[in-house]
A and B are shown apart, each in its own frame.
Chain A
């Protein structure tokens, strides 16, 4: 649709150029949240867009990633940076274990199974207070990278640092996802999206391919959870909640589930929207629900593919 290099170029330009238009430090914070959400949504693009599998529980992996950054330093004395990597490996491992039986399910059955998984993670995080300090949340230690940059003469405010750091992680994530698209694994995923039986007849190990997509997307979600925890320096079990999973899936589908660029725009719109809607106060929920419904009714393939089609239609 839009090729790999162009997508990366557009994303890099957005990352570098946006700060010129930021009137205040607060906008760096929003920008960084967009990249964090964009990272998780890019993972879902691989799972939903490439492989055509639903997950309503990916916030569970974000919970695992986020709490790794909080708990490993407290209980094992690990630095929060490596803790995020350990969290990602843990999420990948859990996704591998859970994915094997779950991914045999299809459609709504897969939806309820992943939903159940996410809720179980959120519940453990909220109830095992001896480990996680319970529903009120827990402090996350500082990553310390910003202080290190200060030593070499780069002086950034906290929000600025997290904007650039999340942006870079997102770009790397986008680059990997884009490379995956044309790789043998990516082709296998897209083939089984079209028809599992047809994919099997050409020799694709369908179960393995699905599991790969599930594990990769879990690692993306886990890293997004870690980034969120590290920049807030605080985390609550809500990060693993049902609504958080739904938010990410909506971002993925809103942008156009099969496109990394779409994932970014979906994340950008749905991250900014609540900030804008707070002006409407009590009508916020009404408007959010309305936007979700209208977008899905009128732009079924998502924002980006629909717009591209409209533009191309005019050219003809």
Chain B
């Protein structure tokens, strides 16, 4: 029993990170129909900028804030310089653009920072906490707390504020939103900033547990994309459920079956889910108009 508890706890922690990355995918997808493969690089940037700002002498909270703000700015730049000029391009071209952006950001990070593994101290020490016979790191609680805050905050933002509703309206129907006076370009900028900031926050929270380096982004992007698809692309609740589910599947596979195939389990489950539910667990069914 403690064994299972241990797997569940680590699965939920990893899952929370996947959920945050998936949420980043979802927000950008809703605003612009683009699947942003550079999403993982935002997580990398969050961690790396915090590490180097901290090395430069800034306290960690300030370094983290700078990292999140800088990453948000990079997200906006990505939208303005690469996504907006390519408006209306086919899906494959947009996928290649964002993969190109991800290679570019990784290349810059490798030159500006270095190729070493980095970490900074956990927020509240490294003494494990006992929960029902299993142990959990205090930092894992920070990850869960952070993810919870982000999801709660976004829920309030999307349902209670005018700006949030404008974003939702744009996601539903771009042209109609434009017709009722919503500045659609501004909504896109906001979405990229928000999504990059969420990715960076995930990077800041998880770096003390997993360490970071210039090349952690690509794996996270694939997992986050998988989680978003598992839940149903474009649905924030789907991102949350998909992320946690993916984390749990990986942890349980690693624990009970085989640790080398934990990544495989995630993709097998996705293939199975898509066979039976071609639009993900929470995906809306749609009809084609001719």
On A, residues with C-beta under 8 Å from B are 48, 54, 56, 101-102, 104-109, 111-113, 115-117, 119-120, 123-124, 127, 195-198, 242, 246, 249-250, 253-254, 257, 282-293, 296-297, 300
Smallest CB separation, B209 vs chain A (Å): 24
Q: Which residues of A contact B96 (CB under 8 A)?
A: 246, 249-250, 253-254, 292, 296
Bound form: Cα–Cα A297–B105 in Å: 17
Kindly provide the distance from the CB of B5 to the nearest chain A CB, expressed in whole angstroms.
Answer: 28
Q: Is the CB of A296 within 8 A of B97?
A: yes
Instruction: State the Cβ distance, A8 to closest chain B Cβ, in Å.
Output: 26
CB within 8 Å for A297 and B264 given contacts A104-B278, A249-B92: no
If A105-B278, A283-B111 touch, whether A297 touches B91 (CB-CB below 8 Å) is no
CB pair A284 B107 closer than 8 Å: yes
8 A-B pairs with least C-beta separation: A289-B104, A292-B100, A285-B107, A116-B267, A289-B103, A286-B107, A293-B100, A112-B229
The contact sample of 9 A-B pairs, CB cut-off 8 A, is A109-B278, A109-B279, A112-B270, A113-B270, A123-B263, A195-B290, A198-B290, A253-B93, A288-B103
Q: Which of A48, A105, A111, A285 has the largest number of chain B CB atoms within 10 A?
A: A285
A108: contacting residue among B91, B111, B261, B290, CB under 8 A = B91
Which residues of chain B come closer than 8 Å to A282, judged between CB atoms? 110-111
- A292 CA to B95 CA in the complex, in Å? 11
Q: Please tell me if B201 contacts chain A, counting CB pairs below 8 Å.
A: no
Interface window among B82-90, B145-153, B173-181: B82-90
Contacts A109-B280, A297-B97 supplied; 18 other A-B pairs, CB < 8 Å? A54-B92, A105-B274, A112-B274, A119-B263, A119-B264, A120-B268, A123-B261, A195-B290, A253-B93, A286-B104, A290-B104, A292-B97, A292-B99, A292-B100, A296-B86, A296-B96, A297-B82, A300-B89
Contact indicator A290/B100 (Cβ below 8 Å): yes
B186: interface (CB < 8 Å): no
Q: Are A197 and B288 in touch, CB under 8 angstroms?
A: yes
CA distance A104 to B276 in the complex (A): 11
Q: Which of B99, B102, B270 contacts A116 (CB 8 A)?
A: B270
Q: Given A113-B271, A123-B264, A127-B261, A108 and B35 touching (CB < 8 A)?
A: yes
With the chains together, A282 CA to B114 CA distance in Å? 11
Q: What are the residues of chain A within 8 A of B261 when measuring CB–CB?
A: 123, 127
Q: Are A285 and B278 in contact (CB under 8 A)?
A: no
Question: Are B278 and A300 in contact, CB atoms less than 8 angstroms apart?
Answer: no
Task: Tell me if B256 counts as interface (CB < 8 A to partner A).
Answer: no
Residue of B nearest to A100 (CB): B275
List residues of chain A with CB within 8 A of the CB of B110. 282, 285
How far apart are the CA atoms of A155 and B178 in the complex, in Å? 69
What's the tally of chain B residues with a CB closer than 8 Å to chain A? 46
User: Cα distance A300–B94 when bound, in Å?
Assistant: 9
| Cβ < 8 Å to A, chain B residues 99-143 | 99-108, 110-111
A282 CA / B108 CA spacing, docked (Å): 9
Is residue B260 contacting chain A, with contact meaning CB distance below 8 A? yes
- Residues in B with CB closer than 8 Å to A254 are 96
Q: Are B93 and A296 in contact (CB under 8 A)?
A: yes
- Report the minimal beta-carbon distance from A288 to chain B, rounded to whole angstroms: 6
A48, A106, A109, A123: residue with the most chain B Cβ atoms closer than 10 Å: A109
Judging by beta carbons under 8 Å apart, are B267 and A120 in contact?
A: yes
Interface string of B230-268 (1 = CB under 8 A from A): 000100000000000000000000000000110110011
Given contacts A123-B263, A197-B288, A292-B100, contact A116 B271 (CB under 8 A): yes
Distance, CA A119 to CA B271, complexed state (A): 12
- Say yes or no: B107 contacts A257, CB within 8 Å: no
CB–CB A293/B104 < 8 A: yes
CA distance A272 to B102 in the complex (A): 21
Measured in the bound complex, the distance between the Cα atoms of B157 and A180 in whole Å is 53
CB <8 Å contact, A111 and B275: no
Closest to A114 in B: B271
Q: Are B92 and A293 in contact (CB under 8 A)?
A: no
Does B8 touch A at the CB level, under 8 Å? no
Residues of B within 8 A of A48 (CB): 92
CB distance from B221 to the nearest CB of A (A): 10
Instruction: Give CA–CA (A285, B99) in the complex, Å.
Output: 12
CB contact between A288 and one of B86, B107, B260 (< 8 Å): that residue: B107
> Shortest distance in angstroms between A245's beta carbon and chain B's nearest beta carbon?
11
Tell me, rounded to whole Å, the shortest Cβ–Cβ distance linking A30 to chain B. 22
Q: What is the bound-complex CA distance between A266 and B263, given in angstroms?
A: 32
B226's partner among A112, A284, A289 (CB-CB below 8 A) is A112
Q: Which residue of B lies closest to A98 (CB)?
A: B271
Q: In the bound complex, do residue A293 and residue B107 qualify as a contact, i.e. CB atoms below 8 Å apart?
A: no
Residue B53 CB within 8 A of the other chain? no
Question: Taking the complex as formed, is B65 at the interface, i.e. its CB lies under 8 A from any CB of chain A?
Answer: no
Q: Cα distance A97–B268 when bound, in Å?
A: 15
Q: Chain A residues near B86 (CB, 8 Å)?
A: 296-297, 300
